[in-house]
Chains A and B, each alone.
Chain A
Amino acid sequence: MSEHTVSSYDEELSGIAGRIAEMGGLAESIVTDAVTALITQDLDLAQATIGRDHRLDDLMHDIEMRNVLVIARRQPMGQDLREIMAATRIANDLERVGDMAKNVAKRVIAIDSDLKSKTLAIGVEHMTELALAQLKAVLDAYTRKDAEEAVKVRERDAEIDAIYTSLFRELLTYMMEDPRNITQCAHLLFCAKNIERIGDHATNIAENVYYMVTGKRLLDDRPRMDETGVEDKENA
């Protein structure tokens, strides 16, 4: 898109987009570190990860403040208005991704013992890779204003949901086998849920990117199922 007649307006918008990109990069890195800490039981890394979440909160508030100022100063219209709306919501999602990762890091400290099952660790790791790939793809879609890519990200979320459901079942089995596993497995279950939620946030971001680019809402026709086995068509 061509530039605004008032160049400082362009600077304000690109400043906001730049901060979203920074939040995205930071969120990816925090998720990676939290899960690495979980798999390797690295308590120091877990502690460091918890501390890094602050920066995401600060960036979100900074973006909010900037959006408010742009609205007050420029009264944005059309594409610009949608960009501002999308930035506010995407910043929120990325901040939540940080919270999810922080929660995983806290559970690393709570578990404080080697993981009982190799396959569980691999499962969580694989799910994390998928969630991170989703996050990366959706942030690229945001930067490139690519609505098609956003649609693809949204469709791929089902894979993460499927892995989460199989992990859920596996964890239940371990808990039934030996009640001494319950503490660790319960923590792992929350970790898995957190990562699954990161995938959901990537999906939210994808929907906002789609709206930002096209001005239309993605209609939700995907039937969704979680570990409860109950199909949720209403609130997908």
Chain B
Amino acid sequence: MSSFSGLARATDPIDQNKATAMENVKIAAEKVQVFYGETHAIKDVSIDIRARTVTAFIGPSGCGKSTFLRCLNRMNDTIDICRVEGRIAIDNEDIYDPKVDPVQLRAKVGMVFQKPNPFPKSIYDNIAYGPRIHGLVRRKSELDDIVASSLQKAGLWEEVKDRLDSPGTGLSGGQQQRLCIARAIAVSPEVILMDEPCSALDPIATAKVEELIDELRENYTIVIVTHSMQQAARVSQRTAFFHLGNLVEVGDTQDIFTNPVDKRTQDYITGRFG
């Protein structure tokens, strides 16, 4: 028990971080290797990602964090020369099993990218697209509900409810990114992968997305790749540090940022790399 226990409340970040420790493993990766042709991009990475927790992947450019993230919903399948070895299981089911349909997998494991990429359609259709193609709804009213609740969860509803027919591309950058998060939520995923979701946003839009991530944590398992260590420290409960394709260190975020074990982690987070 920490010495803070006397003062601790349920919302105390120190306790909150510890609280996730006992919870279930959502994604288990074992000895994952990724090759791009001859290049060995991910080397023997094993990591457990906890359910309903935000896990941040940090590391210098080219360290493999985005590559590894993309393994988690088989986005690397679309790259011909890319080869993935090892085992990645979500809820104990191997996602690289030939029986698994990658399209279904990606409905379960949603993704948000660095640059907001709304479809060139209306705000409504951006959200409705996924539920439609996955056959999640029968009636228009059901679809309306999903659109509204997804936008509400993404904290965008109040800003767009009167103009659902206007194009998604007409929103500001921060709104577009929240639209993409709403779009990911619309198909009821269990895991949301975010690849530098705030790197194209201003500080206020970033804060809104971070607030959203914090709220989404209640219902989703979130993995976020970020170049901002302050962001990783703010939004995540677990942090994994990648370097040259290796997973160097993974632990509670508060430990990684105050007292990392590995010297490479220390050098990276304190700005001594190079």
Query: Mask for A1-28, Cβ within 8 A of B = 1, else 0?
Result: 1111110010000000000000000000
Report A-chain residues with C-beta under 8 Å of the C-beta of B167: none
Report A-chain residues with C-beta under 8 Å of the C-beta of B272: 1-5
B258 touching A80, Cβ below 8 Å: no
**Count of chain B residues with Cβ under 8 Å from any Cβ of A?**
17
B259 touching A78, Cβ below 8 Å: yes
A77-B269 CB under 8 A given contacts A5-B274, A217-B3: yes
List 21 A-B residue pairs with CB atoms under 8 Å apart, sorted by A's residue number. Answer: A1-B266, A3-B272, A4-B270, A4-B272, A6-B271, A75-B230, A76-B270, A77-B233, A77-B257, A77-B258, A77-B271, A78-B257, A78-B260, A78-B266, A79-B270, A81-B257, A81-B258, A82-B259, A215-B258, A215-B259, A217-B3
B230 touching A78, Cβ below 8 Å: no
Q: Does B144 contact A (CB under 8 A)?
A: no
Query: Mask for A61-75, Cβ within 8 A of B = 1, else 0?
Result: 000000000000011
Report A-chain residues with C-beta under 8 Å of the C-beta of B259: 78, 82, 214-216
What's the A-B contact tally at a CB cutoff of 8 Å? 45
Report A-chain residues with C-beta under 8 Å of the C-beta of B229: 75, 77
Instruction: For residue B122, give the distance in angstroms from its CB to the closest CB of chain A.
Output: 40
- B227-274 residues with Cβ-Cβ distance < 8 A to A are 229-230, 233, 257-260, 265-267, 269-274
**Count of chain A residues with Cβ under 8 Å from any Cβ of B?**
20
Complex CA–CA separation, A3 to B271 (angstroms): 9
- B177-232 residues with Cβ-Cβ distance < 8 A to A are 229-230
Residues of A within 8 A of B (CB): 1-6, 9, 74-82, 214-217
Report A-chain residues with C-beta under 8 Å of the C-beta of B258: 77-78, 81-82, 215
The list of the 3 closest CB pairs from A to B, nearest first, reads A215-B259, A77-B269, A78-B270
Instruction: For residue B182, give the distance in angstroms from its CB to the closest CB of chain A.
Output: 30
Report A-chain residues with C-beta under 8 Å of the C-beta of B269: 77-78
B271 touching A79, Cβ below 8 Å: no
Report B-chain residues with C-beta under 8 Å of the C-beta of A215: 258-259
Complex CA–CA separation, A6 to B270 (angstroms): 10
Instruction: For residue B70, give the distance in angstroms from its CB to the closest CB of chain A.
Output: 27
A5-B273 CB under 8 A given contacts A77-B229, A81-B258, A217-B3: yes
Instruction: For residue B255, give the distance in angstroms from its CB to the closest CB of chain A.
Output: 8
Given A78-B258, A215-B259, 7 more pairs with CB closer than 8 A: A1-B266, A2-B267, A74-B271, A75-B230, A78-B259, A81-B257, A215-B258
Complex CA–CA separation, A45 to B30 (angstroms): 72
> For residue A76, which residue of chain B has the nearest CB?
B270
Complex CA–CA separation, A3 to B272 (angstroms): 6
Report A-chain residues with C-beta under 8 Å of the C-beta of B265: 78
> For residue A211, which residue of chain B has the nearest CB?
B259
Report B-chain residues with C-beta under 8 Å of the C-beta of A9: 271
Max chain A C-beta neighbours (<10 A), residue from B258, B260, B273: B258
Report A-chain residues with C-beta under 8 Å of the C-beta of B260: 78
Instruction: For residue A233, give the distance in angstroms from its CB to the closest CB of chain B.
Output: 15
Report B-chain residues with C-beta under 8 Å of the C-beta of A217: 3
Report B-chain residues with C-beta under 8 Å of the C-beta of A4: 270-272
Report A-chain residues with C-beta under 8 Å of the C-beta of B270: 4, 76-80
Report A-chain residues with C-beta under 8 Å of the C-beta of B266: 1, 78-79
Max chain B C-beta neighbours (<10 A), residue from A1, A78, A82: A78
Complex CA–CA separation, A216 to B260 (angstroms): 11
> For residue B269, which residue of chain A has the nearest CB?
A77
With beta carbons under 8 angstroms apart, the residue of B233, B257, B271 that contacts A5 is: B271
> For residue B257, which residue of chain A has the nearest CB?
A77
> For residue B274, which residue of chain A has the nearest CB?
A5
Report B-chain residues with C-beta under 8 Å of the C-beta of A2: 267, 272
> For residue A1, which residue of chain B has the nearest CB?
B272
Complex CA–CA separation, A82 to B259 (angstroms): 9
Report B-chain residues with C-beta under 8 Å of the C-beta of A1: 266, 272
Instruction: For residue A41, give the distance in angstroms from its CB to the closest CB of chain B.
Output: 46
